[in-house]
Amino acid sequence: MSESPSSSVQQARQLLADRLRELVKDSGLEGKEVAARCGWYPSKVSRISTGRQNPSEDDIRAWCAATGAEDQTADLIASLRAVEGMWVSWRRMERAGLRRAQEARLPLYERTHWFRAYSPGLFPGLLQTFGYTEDVLRAVQRRRVAVDDVADAVAARMERQSVLHEGQRRFAFLVEEGTLGNSLGDADTQAEQLDHLLTFSALPNVSVGVIPVRLRRARMPVEGFWIFDKAQVNVELVSGYLTITQPSEIKAYADTFAALADVAVYGDKARALILKARDALA
């Protein structure tokens, strides 16, 4: 399990370690006795029970057998998998291709009613055209994925966009002005994407804010992120995909989004920037 910078992940790992330590206490055994039954050095039990070492699924099976808690094995393995899912490297997430990574997020989108997204370099996935999505995912595939299932991945992302029109959902998107004129794809693809952005910005349940480039240097760099209701934040980092569920961290991202939203422009001013970028393509 790779290390994550998020305290949400660290807290979840510690809770799992605490549960394993409680099994030792409830069994009446000493740590060295558990180690002997598992065929380990005592130091391994100490590292796992204090959260300094992440157990494997086999470690949990052995731990539960040694402490007479086989009935808790399945639940603890499920907890381990949940912790591992909070921080996933791109290599692990995309080892079978890009389609599964796209499909895996659909349940989250379907249960969310309030979406907030900040994108510093690309248009948010829910607002992307087919052609723009194809260019984005093709670039990802060429850079880091051996399996070429881009066509299926694009279809999965397009299917996910149905949430824009279903149910009582609200969407707030923030993009940097520089995103409007990025060089991804050819001019026709970019123009189509900008027209698409104008169309969706007019929907009553969608807010599109553009952060003027003149304000970029006055702020600290912020990575792109999504906030799903008040329950979860996802962040795409260089090395992997981070899921945040700790309330204090969610609030930090919500506060950051609010601060960015305060300096963005909307309505006619946003439309003017989008049209300016559109005209520049000609």
Domain boundaries, the chain: 7-87, 94-280
Is pLDDT above 60 for 2? Answer: no
Looking at residue 8, its pLDDT comes to 67
- Between 9-13, 41-45, 102-106, the lowest mean confidence (pLDDT) is in 9-13
Residue 85 near residue 25 (C-beta atoms within 8 A): no
- Give all strands (DSSP E) within 91-201, no chain letters: 114-119, 170-176
Q: In the predicted model, what is the mean pLDDT of residues 150-174? A: 95
Higher local confidence (pLDDT), 2 or 124: 124
Query: pLDDT for 98-150, tens place per residue?
Result: 999 899 899 999 999 999 999 998 999 999 999 999 999 999 999 999 999 99
Average pLDDT for the chain:
90
- What is the side-by-side order of every strand in the sheet holding 206-211? 87-89, 240-244, 232-236, 225-228, 114-119, 170-176, 206-211
Fold for 7-87, please state it. Answer: 434 Repressor (Amino-terminal Domain) (1.10.260)
- Cα–Cα dist 237/272, whole Å: 31
Of 81, 82, 83, 14, residue with least CA distance to 49:
14
Query: pLDDT for 198-245, tens place per residue?
Result: 999 999 999 999 999 887 655 666 889 999 999 899 998 888 888 888
Is pLDDT above 50 for 1? Answer: no
Q: Which run of H or E residues covers position 280?
A: helix 267-280
Looking at residue 249, its pLDDT comes to 84
Is pLDDT above 90 for 82? Answer: no
Q: In the predicted model, what is the mean pLDDT of residues 78-97? A: 83
Of 58, 167, 32, 56, residue with least CA distance to 111:
167
Question: Which CATH code is given to the segment(s) 94-280?
Answer: 3.30.870.10
Residue 158 near residue 130 (C-beta atoms within 8 A): yes
Looking at residue 182, its pLDDT comes to 79
